[in-house]
Structures are given as C-alpha cells and as structure tokens.
C-alpha cells in the first residue's frame, strides 16, 4: 500500500466507554507512522487512555502534562484567572503554537493530551474550557498531517465548523444493544452538526452472527471493518503492553483493512 506522507487527514474516534476506541486510535496512529505519515495523536477523553494504548511506558506517561493542567498558559492566553467567576476573557485565544510546543514525541508519533473538556450543553463557559475547545478546533481545522483524536463517548463539544473539518468520524461498536444505541445516538448528532462522513468499526467480533448483528442494526452507516475478539488485545490491556508490538497477524490484518479504507482517498 502506497500512502502519501504529506496528505492531511483528520479522524475522530468515539463510541461507548470500554468498546476499544483508544485501542483503535493507538494502532491507527502506529500504522500511519509506519507508512511515513506525520502523525498527531490527540487524547480529548477525560479518562486519557491513548498514551496507554500507544504503548508509552508508565515511567514516561507521567511526563505528559494535560493541557488542562497548564494553568499559566491558559491564564496568559485567555487573560483570566482560573476558578474565578464573573470574569471577562478572550473567546478566541491564540492556540496556534500549543500542539507543537507541548506534544510528546513517542517513536515518531506526536502525542497531545488535552484533559477534560466540558460538553457543549453543560453550561461551562470557563477560560480553560474555552481554551481547550479552541485548541481542538485549531488542530482539526488547520493541521496538515494525519490527526487522530480519541474522543469521549459523545461529540457534543465539537463546534459545527470543527465538525465539518473532520474527514471521518469512526464510531467503535461492539455487538451489544447498549453499544448499538450509543452508536446510533452519536451518528444522529454527527449528521446534525454536519460531519460529512460517518463510519463504524465493529470490535470484539467473535462470529459471523456478531458481524451480521452489527451490519443489520447499523445498515445506514458505512462499515470500515471488523476487529475480532482477541486474547492479545485483552492481555495487552491487562499487562500495559503496546498492542501494536505484539498483535497477532489476523488482528493486525483487520486493523490494516480499516487503515486502508481511511487513507484510500488520501493516498
């Protein structure tokens, strides 16, 4: 597979908690890096599992400071003190240099952990939330590289302009009714705010019946591929070992199929 190193593509990965979205985001980041793309992996999930999924050792993970904890930076750029109410602050702070300044280089992959971002409907109009939302928007709209964003189980914090710049929204779903319901809710909101392409990846698929179940209940959403249930994935999660470094050939082939579908129009 020939993949251009300079073609930018913006991927957002979401889904119900525990379905394996961080695992998918981590493996796709490694594949893009191996094929010569410049990669920026962004963790915007408050649970912040992407560094773990990428295989960054525990001894190094503590060195990654979430942007939400960089109080001096946020105060400087927004012109407001944190945790104080009734302030006037900049709604469009300068964030253009933040990703380059504060990303963590792991084997050629630039990793940026945002920290908690309040959902759009929560009513939080605080400086830190404004700063993080502007930063995520700047990354998705302006960066010219392979950007993959590990999101929380929902996309409410994506503004409409940001959403329209996402090349593909991937909803990771496992063959359960709860996961299907979450996927359908996410897909409905994604259509509403203007995300042009939505697709799903089936995970923990053990049989043809599982595959048919997902395809049948998500018939109006594009399938990118199916990841089989794997002891390797489970063990890598348990032991804190990078999945990409020990994944079995069958499971790796499934990830490569998904990656090929993503970069097909950008290769």
Helix (H, G, I), strand (E, B) or coil at 14: strand
pLDDT in tens, 52-108: 999 998 888 888 999 999 999 999 999 887 766 666 787 889 999 999 999 999 999
Query: Is 167 inside a domain boundary?
Result: yes
Q: Which domain holds residue 95?
A: 10-266
Q: What is the CATH number of the domain that holds 59?
A: 3.40.50.300
> 147: pLDDT confidence band, cut at 50, 70 and 90?
very high
Q: How much of the chain exceeds pLDDT 70, in percent?
A: 87
**Is 142 a domain residue?**
yes
Determine, yes or no, domain membership for 163.
Answer: yes
Q: Tell me whether strands 39-43 and 104-106 are parallel, antiparallel or unpaired.
A: unpaired
Q: Cα–Cα distance between 8 and 203 in angstroms, integer?
A: 26
CA 105, CA 101: separation in Å to the nearest integer?
11
Indicate the number of domains in the chain.
Answer: 1
Which two tokens mark 80?
């407001």
Distance CA 83, CA 261 (A): 44
What phi, psi does 170 have (nearest 5°)? Answer: -105, 125
pTM equals 0.89
- Predicted confidence band at 154 (pLDDT cuts at 50, 70, 90)? low
Mean pLDDT for all residues in the chain: 86
Confidence band, pLDDT 50/70/90 cuts, at residue 245: confident
């Amino acid at each position: 597979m020939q993949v251009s190193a300079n073609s930018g593509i913006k991927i957002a990965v979401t889904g119900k908690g525990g379905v394996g979205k961080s695992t998918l985001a981590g493996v796709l980041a490694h594949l893009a890096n191996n094929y010569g793309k410049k990669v920026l992996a962004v963790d915007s999930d408050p649970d912040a599992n992407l560094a773990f999924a990428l295989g960054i050792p525990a001894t190094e993970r503590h060195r990654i400071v979430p942007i939400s904890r960089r109080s001096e930076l946020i105060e400087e750029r927004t012109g407001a003190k944190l945790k104080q109410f009734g302030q006037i602050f900049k709604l469009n702070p300068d964030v253009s240099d933040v990703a380059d300044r504060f990303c963590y280089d792991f084997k050629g992959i630039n990793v940026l952990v945002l920290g908690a971002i309040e959902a759009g409907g929560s009513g939080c109009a605080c400086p830190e939330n404004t700063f993080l939302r502007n930063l995520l928007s700047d990354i998705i709209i302006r960066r010219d590289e392979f950007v993959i964003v590990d999101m929380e189980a929902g996309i409410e914090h994506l503004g409409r302009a940001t959403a329209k710049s996402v090349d593909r929204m991937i909803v990771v779903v496992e063959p359960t009714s709860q996961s299907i319901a979450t996927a359908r809710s996410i897909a409905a909101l994604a259509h509403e705010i203007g995300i042009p392409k939505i697709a799903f990846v089936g995970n923990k698929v053990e049989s043809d019946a599982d595959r048919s179940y997902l395809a049948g209940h998500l018939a109006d959403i594009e399938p990118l591929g199916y990841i089989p249930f794997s002891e390797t994935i489970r063990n890598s999660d348990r032991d804190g070992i990078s999945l990409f470094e020990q994944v079995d050939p069958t499971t790796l082939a499934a990830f490569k199929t998904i990656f090929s579908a993503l970069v097909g129009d950008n290769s």
